[in-house]
Structure 1
Amino acid sequence: MSWQYDSRTRIFSPEGSLYEVEYDKDGVVLAAEKRFTFKRLATLNSTEKMYKIDDHVVCAVAGIMADANIRINCARLSAQRYTLAYQEPMQVKQLGQSLCDTKQGYTRFGGLWTFGMLFLFAGYDKNFGFQLHLSNPNGNYGD
Structure 2
Amino acid sequence: MSRRYDSRTTIFSPEGRLYQVEYAMEAIGNAGAAIGILARDGVILVGEKKVTSKLLQTSRSTEKMYKIDDHLACAVAGIMSDANILINTARVQAQRYTFSYQEPMPVEQLVQSLCDTKQGYTQFGGLRPFGVSFLFAGWDKNYGFQLYMSDPSGNYSGWKAAAIGSGFPESLIMMAPGASWMETYNSAHLRSKDHVPLEQLLD
Query: If the TM-score is normalised by the length of the shorter chain, which range does it land in?
Result: 0.7 to 0.9
**22, 32, 36: which is aligned to 2:51?**
36
**97, 119, 130: which is aligned to 2:112?**
97
**115, 127, 133: which is aligned to 2:142?**
127
SS at match of 1:80: helix
1:115 aligns with 2:130: yes
User: Normalising by the residue count of structure 2, what TM-score does the alignment of the two structures yield?
Assistant: 0.58
> Which runs of 5 or more structure 1 residues have no equivalent in the other structure?
1-22
**60, 66, 72: which is aligned to 1:45?**
60
Residue aligning to 1:56:
71
> Which runs of 5 or more structure 2 residues have no equivalent in the other structure?
1-37, 159-203
Q: What amino acid is aligned across from residue 128 of structure 1 in structure 2? A: Y
Structure with max Cα Rg: 1
Residue aligning to 1:141:
156
Residue aligning to 2:86:
71
Spell out, residue by residue over 1:71-130, the C-alpha distance to the aligned partner (whole angstroms, 9 max, x if none). 000000000000000111001100100000011011111210210100111011111100
SS at match of 1:132: strand
Spell out, residue by residue over 1:8-36, the C-alpha distance to the aligned partner (whole angstroms, 9 max, x if none). xxxxxxxxxxxxxxx93111110110021
Larger relative contact order (CA 8 Å, sep ≥ 6): 2
How far apart, in 1, do the equivalents of 2:110 and 2:51 lie?
31
User: Normalising by the residue count of structure 1, what TM-score does the alignment of the two structures yield?
Assistant: 0.81
SS at match of 2:49: coil
How far apart, in 2, do the equivalents of 1:37 and 1:87 lie?
43
Identity of aligned residues (%): 69
Aligned length: 121
How far apart, in 2, do the equivalents of 1:78 and 1:100 lie?
13
